Structure 1
Amino acid sequence: SGAVHFTRNNLSAYIRSNVRYLVALLVAGFDPSSGPELHYIDPFGSSVPIRYGGHGSGINFCTPIFEEFYKPTLDKRTAYNIIQKCVAEIQKRLVINLRNFDVFVIGREGITKLDPINQVSLRAQLMGNPPPRK
């Protein structure tokens, strides 16, 4: 939450200066005392803690999936499967061809990159051959 506070302060300071930034972002981290955190920060520097989220036009297709399958106690494999459902929905419904989705886990151990999700990995999932674990 220290990074969130720092970012919020800077974004709100820029509003009152001649320097203009228009950003909306997600800040994720792990606090040893409170556990995992995810914050949405809007272009005005306001923030709110959220349980799940995303950006871009694809998030409109992912939000219902998150609402249906999210639980605070998800393990990495289940969370990865939820992201796969989102990517499959985005590729089915979005006009833009997005080829690869990088997946990262932020946790107690730090940041871990998982296998990317793409057409090949989704096809393997449908055929019952899940991608290798990292």
Structure 2
Amino acid sequence: MECSFALTGKGYVLIAADMTSARSIVKMKHDEDKVKPLGPHLLMTYSGEPGDTVQFAEYVERNLRLYQIRNHSVLRPHSAASWIRRTLADSLRSRSPYSVNLLVGGYDVSEHEPHLYWIDYLGTMATVPFAAHGYGSYFALSLLDRYHNPSASLEEGIETLKRCIDEVQKRLIIGLGKFKVRVVDKDGVREIEI
């Protein structure tokens, strides 16, 4: 019962994920942070099996940091998303595959453009203007399709994201509680209160 959304706008990527940790009908936590900053201009939200998600997110974070230390430069969003996709595809062919769905968003400081990537547990990657994972995607994707504007300001993007969150809270049978929202743009990664 996890849900995450992301959308791009004029110079930013906005990412939101629910903060609920549940198994079957039991809610174990309501303050789980499922949005992981991977670099100064890179974010990732994850959903899936509880053990796999945390382990894979930390593995990705540490390896991207190791790359930065070794090469004295950070990976651009497309390169980071491609490496993450390849890592998931390789784990799929091992004895212990990760069951993780990801949304990777970043701001490319050399091109001055935001990028958003949808990656599923099978290692499929797509470059998208907006995306969603989880049961909330059944409600949010139609709203994002109607209201998403690639040249929208950050305030307009936040309003679109609020519509998605309100719709999921109203129509999904399980209350997901609060959402953690972060934005990445030319100034870096920061958290937004909704």
Fold conserved between structures, TM > 0.5: yes
Q: Does the 8 Å CA contact 2:106/2:116 hold for their aligned counterparts?
A: yes
- Secondary structure in 2 aligned to 1:43? coil
Structure 2: gaps of 5 or more residues: 1-77
Q: Structure 1 unaligned runs (5+)?
A: 117-134
Structure 1 residue ranges, 4+ long, deviating more than 4 angstroms after superposition = none
Structure-to-structure mapping, 1:1-134, within 5 angstroms: 1-32=78-109, 33=111, 35-116=113-194
User: Rg larger in 1 or in 2?
Assistant: 1
What CA distance in whole angstroms lies between the structure 1 residues aligned with 2:80 and 2:101? 15
| More relative contact order, 1 or 2 (CA 8 Å, 6+ apart) | 2
Q: Normalising to structure 1: TM-score of the pair?
A: 0.80
SS in 2 for 1:82: helix
* Structure having the larger proportion of residues in strand: 2
- Alpha-carbon offset, residue 34 of structure 1: 5.4
TM-score (norm: length of structure 2): 0.57
Letter of the structure 2 residue corresponding to residue 9 of structure 1:
R
Identical amino acids, percent of aligned pairs: 29
Task: State the distance in 2 between where 1:15 and 1:91 align.
Answer: 33
